[in-house]
A and B are shown apart, each in its own frame.
Chain A
Amino acid sequence: MTVIVKTVSSWVKVLIFLFGIYTILFGHLTPGGGFAGGVILASSYVLLMLAFGRTFVAANLPRSLASRLDCLGAFLFALIAILGLVCGGTFFVNFLYQRYAPGTPFALVSAGTIPLSNMAIGVKVGASLFLVILTLAAFRAESQEPTERDLADPGVGGKE
């Protein structure tokens, strides 16, 4: 990609990533939540992949780390559910809100397990979508014979 695209996306990616974190953390107060925030987190990496190429992003966030994050998010979400069974008596009960720390409404630390579940889902969804898109990009790049231009500029959207 051109210098303009690379420069602009290297500035904008931080803002997109921050917005994703905000959407996840404030999911219980304002519109948003784990699913939407995770998609925004993954989209910042997709922007990087479009601008700098697949190998750059794969070096930045390796596939093994992404799959570990994916499993970690799913495990944390299930752990919160099982903690509800242990501490509150019912699977998925909001035990933090009902028993230990009710918090005040409209505060960042409130609503018990809901922000924790949002964080787990955000990590999980972001890593999942990143993995899917990385796999699709790798499939498209590896299914074609590499030409000399590919080797010189391994950008995903570099051609056409």
Chain B
Amino acid sequence: MALFYILLIFMVIAAIIAVETKDLLSAVICVGAIGFGGSLMFLLLRAPDIAMTQIVVEVLGLVILIRATISRDLTFISGDREFFGTVASVVILFLVFMAGMRICDTLPEFGDPVFTQRPEAASQTYIAKGLSDTGATNIVTSIYLDYRAYDTLGEATVLFTAVIGATAILRSRSRKRLEDPEL
């Protein structure tokens, strides 16, 4: 559990640096550090699926943000370093591909009812007790508004943030003109 709190403090420090620093690239890198810390925390909380989602979103977001931040300041790598970088990328891609093939071999067949064979699976609890616990006959609703309502709160927050971002980025009128009580 100590590791958990160390990660938490690390994320708070990275967030403070990201807000306070003047350098745009440092701020983007700090945001990336927060995301990776978050994915490690999900892993420690035994939610590997969310950790994987978080890390994928984080890598994509970091690439896009860095590309947007340093669009005027491009450095090209050439010579021996380019050769080494290419070889290293190909080797890493090959290793990840082989690991993925190995994982695909261990997956159950398509359409195999794996969760009905495992009575300790969480879905068995939802199916058996969903109606008596929540009173909702739609089991999907009973999961996302009762058993896992925290997820739904997070999802509503994501939507709220998306609306704020869209209206902030796409506004064509300046802040002073927005203060007019029109539209």
Contact = CB atoms under 8 A, between A and B. Distances in A.
User: Real complex partners, A and B?
Assistant: yes
Interface of A: 27-35, 58, 62-64, 70, 73-74, 77-78, 81, 92, 94, 97, 102-103, 105-106, 110-114, 117-118, 121, 124-125, 128, 131-132, 135-136, 138-139, 142-143
A124 B156 contact: yes
Given A102-B135, A111-B137, 15 more contacts: A28-B137, A30-B138, A77-B153, A92-B150, A97-B135, A103-B135, A111-B134, A111-B141, A111-B142, A113-B145, A114-B145, A117-B149, A124-B159, A128-B163, A135-B167
Nearest to B157: A74
Given A58-B183, A63-B183, A118 B145 contact: yes
A118 B145 CA distance: 8
A55 B21 CA distance: 42
Given A92-B149, A111-B135, A132-B163, A28 B141 contact: yes
A27 B141 contact: yes
B56 interface: no
A62 B182 CA distance: 10
Contacts, number: 106
A74 to B, nearest CB: 6
Interface string B127-162: 000010111111011101110011011011001101
A21 to B, nearest CB: 16
A26 to B, nearest CB: 9
B170 interface: yes
A32 B145 CA distance: 12
B166 interface: yes
A53 B80 CA distance: 59
Interface in B78-136: 131, 133-136
